[in-house]
């Protein structure tokens, strides 16, 4: 009857909670070990100019390869790393690794800019300016070859505390961009106050263009705001030629997405775009 069903639902629900907290605990200790054992790895997604399709940069995206060989994406462990206070260690590793890789490209004559995602916590807690300075110094990378991505949501929530740090980062000579732009539902006035050079159009707006009139309008509006404010734009999540043609028709200059290439290991990236590879341009 209904009572038994209620009880079953409750037990099912409780079991889910137990499983979830068990998984969190396993992930927490696992992630600590992953840092010690060097189980994190960066994949690089190329970014290209719409005109000529020349690759000018790569976004570094972290993955965790467990000892069992399972690849865990950032969607499953970044939030946990933030809660467990491990994001600083993870973020520091990502920064250093990405700078070293970009320096190698630089030394081989490949003028690629590398983009690193920052957690908001890295910006408001800790010494992000010192961390970035150290990563640049240690690798020898030119600061202009490093771009740091901050999310719009973070920017809105912490504009005042974060602002000084963002200016500090700019003073190092690195580029700053707003990731997932358009998803934060906020006043746009912050754009004129922040020392950012680039907006990344969130892939959710790119997914259904051309065709969805609302998303078409939003993409067009973002491109026009960026142009007026003299900001660069990169469209994310471009998966087909129709999307790229649409973006091109609106004057979007740069993009990334599976249509160009999914994120690649450094080795795969070199095979496709590195010196000695078939071609530098896609």
Interaction of residue 177 with ligand C2E, rule CB under 6 A:
no
Binders in 50-69 for ligand C2E, by CB under 6 A: 61-62
Interaction of residue 130 with ligand C2E, rule CB under 6 A:
no
**Beta-ladder partners of 200:** 234
- Applying CB under 6 A, what is the total number of residues that bind ligand C2E? 21
Going from the C-alpha of 169 to that of each of 123, 128, 261, 280, the distances in angstroms are 10, 8, 29, 30
**Separation between Cα atoms, residue 154 and residue 123, nearest integer Å:** 9
- Selected range binding ligand C2E among 14-22, 114-122, 224-232, 273-281, rule: CB under 6 A: 114-122
- The least CB distance from residue 63 to ligand C2E, in Å, is 7
Binders in 211-240 for ligand C2E, by CB under 6 A: 236-239
Interaction of residue 244 with ligand C2E, rule CB under 6 A:
no
DSSP 277: S
* Tokens at 228, concatenated: 């007026």
**7 prior amide bond cis, ω within 30:** no
Binder among 46, 57, 182, 263 for ligand C2E (CB under 6 A): 263
- The least CB distance from residue 67 to ligand C2E, in Å, is 21
Which residue's entry shows tokens 């809660």?
83
Phi and psi at residue 178, to the nearest 5°: -100, 115
Going from the C-alpha of 119 to that of each of 6, 197, 274, the distances in angstroms are 41, 18, 29
Residues 6+ apart with CB under 8 A from 192: 229
Interaction of residue 73 with ligand C2E, rule CB under 6 A:
yes
**Separation between Cα atoms, residue 13 and residue 161, nearest integer Å:** 40
Which of 30/91 has CB closer to ligand C2E?
A: 91
- The least CB distance from residue 263 to ligand C2E, in Å, is 5
Which of 4/235 has CB closer to ligand C2E?
A: 235
- The least CB distance from residue 234 to Mg ion, in Å, is 9
**Separation between Cα atoms, residue 59 and residue 255, nearest integer Å:** 11
Which of 106/179 has CB closer to ligand C2E?
A: 179
- The least CB distance from residue 134 to ligand C2E, in Å, is 17
The listed partner (Mg ion, ligand C2E, none) that binds 239, CB under 5 to 8 Å by sort, is ligand C2E
Contacting residues toward Mg ion, per CB under 5 A: 117, 149, 179-180, 236
The listed partner (Mg ion, ligand C2E, none) that binds 257, CB under 5 to 8 Å by sort, is ligand C2E
* Tokens at 163, concatenated: 């602002």
Query: Is 241 within 8 Å of 247 (Cβ atoms)?
Result: no
* Tokens at 66, concatenated: 């467990």
C-alpha of 92 from chain center: 15
The listed partner (ligand C2E, Mg ion, none) that binds 73, CB under 5 to 8 Å by sort, is ligand C2E
Binder among 14, 138, 258, 265 for ligand C2E (CB under 6 A): 258
The listed partner (ligand C2E, Mg ion, none) that binds 62, CB under 5 to 8 Å by sort, is ligand C2E
Q: Strands 254-255, 232-235: parallel, antiparallel or unpaired by DSSP?
A: parallel
Interaction of residue 180 with ligand C2E, rule CB under 6 A:
yes
Query: Is 131 within 8 Å of 116 (Cβ atoms)?
Result: no
């Amino acid at each position: 009857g209904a009572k038994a069903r209620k009880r079953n639902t409750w037990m099912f629900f409780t079991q889910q909670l137990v499983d979830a907290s068990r998984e969190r605990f396993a992930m927490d200790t696992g992630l600590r070990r992953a840092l010690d054992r060097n189980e994190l790895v960066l994949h690089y997604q190329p970014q290209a100019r719409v005109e000529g399709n020349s690759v000018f940069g790569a976004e570094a995206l972290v993955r965790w390869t467990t000892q069992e060989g399972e690849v865990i994406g950032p969607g499953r462990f970044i939030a946990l790393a933030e809660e467990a206070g491990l994001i600083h260690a993870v973020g520091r590793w990502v920064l250093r690794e990405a700078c070293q890789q970009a320096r190698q490209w630089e030394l081989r004559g490949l003028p690629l800019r590398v983009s690193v995602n920052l957690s908001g916590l890295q910006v408001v807690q800790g010494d992000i300016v010192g961390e970035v300075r150290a990563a640049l110094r240690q690798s020898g990378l030119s600061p202009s070859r490093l771009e740091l991505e901050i999310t719009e949501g973070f920017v809105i929530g912490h504009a005042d505390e974060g602002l000084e740090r963002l200016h500090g980062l700019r003073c190092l000579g690195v580029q700053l961009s707003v990731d997932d732009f358009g998803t934060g539902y906020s006043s746009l006035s912050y754009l004129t106050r922040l020392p950012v050079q680039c907006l990344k159009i969130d892939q959710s707006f790119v997914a259904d263009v051309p065709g969805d009139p609302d998303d078409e309008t939003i993409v067009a509006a973002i491109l026009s705001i960026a142009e007026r404010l003299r900001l660069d734009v990169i469209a994310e999540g471009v998966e087909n030629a129709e999307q790229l043609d649409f973006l091109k028709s609106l004057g979007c200059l740069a993009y990334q997405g599976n249509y160009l290439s999914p994120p690649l290991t450094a080795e795969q990236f070199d095979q496709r775009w590195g010196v000695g590879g078939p071609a530098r341009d896609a």
